[in-house]
Amino acid sequence: MSFAKQMPMPRGRAENLAVIFGDQLDHDAGLLKRLDPDNDVILMAEVDGEQEEGPSHKVRTAVFFAAMRHYALWLSERGFRVRYVRVDSRGNTQSLEGEIDRAIEAHKPQRLLVTHPGDWRVMETLDAIDAVDVEVLDDEHFYTTPSEFAEWADGRKSLVMEFFYREQRKKLGILMDGKQPTGGEWNYDKDNRESFKSEPGVRAPYSPEPDEITAEVISLVNSRYADAPGRLDESNWIWPVRRDKALRALRDFVEHRLADFGPFEDAMWTGEHTLFHSLLSVPLNLKLLNPRECVDAALEAFKAEKAPLNSVEGFVRQLIGWREYIRGVYWFEGADYRDRNFLGQDGDLPEFYWNGETDMKCMSECLAPVLDHAWSHHIPRLMVLSNFAMIAGVAPRAIGDWFYGMYADAVDWATTPNTIGMGSYADGIPGKREPVVGTKPYAASGKYISRMSNYCKHCSYDVKKRTGKDACPFNTFYWDFLIRHENRFSKNNRMAMIMKNVKRLKKDDRVEITTSAKSLREKFGVAPAKVSA
């Protein structure tokens, strides 16, 4: 039976109107406990308006719609009255504001209930509602509320993630032996930088088959958003969009990949995109999985000696440290955060980010899983795709918007600090605030990529060359980036060593690097990059 037939539109008045957004599909949401299924109505809406924020990958849109529809059916089976507005429903205003207004008009609620959204834009929409009282509930999915984070952050000179993470470990009693971290160290990154010497041969992760509802969404998205980027068909579907499937994906990771996750978490290899990564950011950011159950599963595996400490600690840090930290930064720094541009870079994003057509092997390899599945692991994101854009001089907002549109796990609270902050070193305000998330830019030459992958062996560029026709573009851009921002970076103690090398460059070498970078920027369609003050 089609989804539309299974979801009749509720009629009549409602005491409370609850709005549930596409990234709030939590089966244990506190919001549900506040609702009386007989007297209240839940609104869920698919709208084209989301596409107007910028291009959205077909897989990303399909993941959201499919997960929302499964969640709505789950709610309906539990007796809740769900007003589900499909994107192709008659009368859909195609905007969140419009659908909230229509639902208020139809059900005349006394109150609008909503879980804390994951986006400043949505928060501002809620703030602008004056037809009814709006009550925003804490999102219990997270360990830390925005106000708890603000308490930690207030008055600190810099917001270093490592300190936040240690406090989380102590507060939550995770991987602690009394007051000391299990194993004696807070973090085992030094053990987690291995690369593959030969074909990794990793077992394929669990990929759920699309069911009838998902297949219906795939077909809808392909016809409605035919010009959107990315490839979507039933044969390349990999994402769990129901809680039971998400739990199975968690079990699959813990059983088959967690043990090797740590040592190889930074490694890359041609044609192997998942490697030992969990792929759980998608169900986690949809809230189909709770971070606590992921942490518990990893700790169990450690207790049962099925996974070593460096792997378990690395995974746990992503969940209780990094994920909570960047959400805290997002709300603490304010709505202007996404438009910050500390280095004043204003180049365009090269066209190949949208279609993968480039002769740089590392870029085409890292773009392949993005175009096919709207996902790649954190090193292609940070050290290849973000790194290239930053050192080439692309505007941070352009790269941020690309990540937001192209990843199935992209939600504003996560994507914006990861791209504007960590990936672009852009989240400072010149003369007022040093960058928040990174103490130095995550900039790297081709040497890093060569060390962590086999890409350079299959590339037409020469990773050992800095300038010249066949020189690795990462090398040219890396040195040009350091030269362009020499004044600023020379004041950064963490960059003292590398900036000494920049200072030692002969005048001719500088000119050659700058000229080569300029012609590469023209070749790739990046507008001229600025020199920072």
Contact residues toward ligand SF4 (CB under 6 A) are 360-362, 446, 449-450, 455-456, 459, 461, 463, 472-474
Q: How far is the CB of 360 from ligand SF4 (least distance, A)?
A: 4
Identity at 255, one-letter amino acid code: E
Angstrom distance (rounded) from CA 241 to CA 218: 12
Kindly report the number of other CB atoms within 10 A of residue 131's CB atom: 12
22 closest CA partner among 414, 324, 288: 288
Report CA 481 to chain centroid distance, whole Å. 25
Q: How, if at all, do strands 176-177 and 180-181 pair?
A: antiparallel
Q: How far is the CB of 273 from ligand SF4 (least distance, A)?
A: 15
Q: How far is the CB of 71 from ligand SF4 (least distance, A)?
A: 41
Q: How far is CA 54 from CA 150, 175, 480, in A?
A: 30, 41, 30
46 closest CA partner among 313, 307, 224: 224
Q: What is the DSSP string of 358-403?
A: -S-HHHHHHHHHHHHHS---HHIIIIIIIHHHHHHTB-HHHHHHHH
163 closest CA partner among 172, 152, 154, 176: 152
In the complex with ligand SF4, the residue whose CB is nearer, 249 or 360, is 360
In the complex with ligand SF4, the residue whose CB is nearer, 108 or 378, is 378
Tokens of 80: 């809740």
Q: How far is the CB of 448 from ligand SF4 (least distance, A)?
A: 8
Q: How far is the CB of 106 from ligand SF4 (least distance, A)?
A: 55
The H-assigned helical ranges of 173-229 are 212-224
In the complex with ligand SF4, the residue whose CB is nearer, 421 or 446, is 446
Tokens of 287: 């809230």
Q: Do 472 and 362 form a contact (C-beta atoms < 8 A)?
A: no
Q: Do 460 and 470 form a contact (C-beta atoms < 8 A)?
A: yes
Angstrom distance (rounded) from CA 390 to CA 292: 34
Place of tokens 């980036």: 481
Residues 6+ apart with CB under 8 A from 335: 120, 124
Q: How far is the CB of 396 from ligand SF4 (least distance, A)?
A: 22
Q: Do 4 and 27 form a contact (C-beta atoms < 8 A)?
A: no
Q: How far is the CB of 39 from ligand SF4 (least distance, A)?
A: 60
In the complex with ligand SF4, the residue whose CB is nearer, 25 or 456, is 456
Q: How far is the CB of 453 from ligand SF4 (least distance, A)?
A: 8
In the complex with ligand SF4, the residue whose CB is nearer, 263 or 446, is 446
Q: How far is the CB of 16 from ligand SF4 (least distance, A)?
A: 54
